[in-house]
Chain A
Amino acid sequence: MTNPYNTSVESGSILGPTIRFTGELTAGEDLVVHGQVNGTISQATRVTIGPEGVINASIRSAHIAVEGRVDGDLLASKSVVVHASAEVRGNITAPAISIEPGAVFTGSIDMEAARSPAKNAAARP
């Protein structure tokens, strides 16, 4: 028996505006969040926080794009993009970071640690 829903989820997950998560969230593929997440988001390929997204969580992913509000650290192995509509409070660690004009960002940025993870690991015993 085949389920038509399966075809619709192959490109990842979308959390709509009324969805509120509290806890640990792990996504293997792409994840788009329009709702609220309190806790941690990890192991995703690409995390996008939509304009209505409100995140109180640290995010670990290969790519992170923020259009909404994030209170927490962003740790990306590839890139972080903070769009103009975004409001981010936290630290960003990624080898490539772009912040569009108009975005509100409070926190520190670390590109070195992400580029040389070995050095980073040595720095933090």
Chain B
Amino acid sequence: MSWFKPTSRNDASIAVLLGDVSEDSPGTEAPAVNESPTVTRVPAAAVASGSPGDSASSQPYVTPAPAAKSVLGRTLRFRGDLHADEDFVLQGHIEGAIHHSQHLGIGVEGVVKGDSRARSIVVEGTVHGDLYALESISLRATALVTGNLFAPRVSIADGATFNGRIDMATAAKAARAVLDRHEASKEKSEAPGGAGQPGAEPMAASA
């Protein structure tokens, strides 16, 4: 029943969505949100008032601070490549490759058709494809995975459905090589104008 343990990160992301960050988090984030120049939400609200039905979406549109956690909701469908350097939980559908330098969560409603690479991966949803993790892969009880797992540490919970091969022995080396190549190609492609890649630097340093 670890579900019911309210993690602070989760609460924060909900708070951001609901727009009451300033009330719930007395930390340093609240002033940053309030002082942000993007708080001029009047036009967006004014536009939304044109359609009377959606009172929920006519809430002032809170653009979360840059540090806000990403949410890939259940209605999101994506075909192509996804690159990310921040933690997120996927609840939508992705057809294509995921290149992630941190923790990747595939939620209960998440569906991935393609290969995923990350530092660590937790699967609660459906995956058709190979999973490569630098550190660990965890298949929770609700997971349905068809593919191969490559990671130094792999755990499969009772109830999870898994069809495929697991490689722990060569996984650390392989996953590291894949991520290194990804980092190298990313740095090369972004070298001309690539200023702000906060996640890329620590990744390269620790790899």
By a beta-carbon cutoff of 8 Å, the part of chain A in contact with chain B is 1-32, 34-35, 39, 45-46, 48, 50-52, 63, 65, 67, 78-79, 81, 83-85, 96, 98, 100
Contacts and interface: CB of A to CB of B under 8 A. Distances in A.
Interface string B9-53: 010011011000000000000000000011010011001101100
Interface string B186-206: 000000000011110000000
Given A18-B198, A27-B77, 7 more contacts: A13-B72, A13-B73, A21-B80, A26-B77, A29-B75, A63-B48, A81-B47
A50 B44 CA distance: 12
A3 B3 contact: yes
Interface string B80-107: 1111111011011000100000000101
B76 interface: yes
7 contacts: A9-B72, A13-B76, A20-B84, A27-B73, A67-B63, A84-B40, A98-B47
A7 B6 CA distance: 12
A30 B198 CA distance: 26
Contact of B75 (A13, A21, A67, A84): A13
B14 A7 contact: yes
B179 to A, nearest CB: 15
Residue with the highest number of chain A CB atoms closer than 10 Å, among B80, B141, B198: B80
B83 A19 contact: yes
B196 to A, nearest CB: 8
A11 to B, nearest CB: 5
Nearest to A100: B43
Interface string B49-79: 0110010110001011010111111111111
B79 A23 contact: yes
Given A16-B86, A21-B82, A48 B61 contact: yes
A19 B70 contact: yes
B23 to A, nearest CB: 17
Contacts of B115: none
Contacts of A10: 73
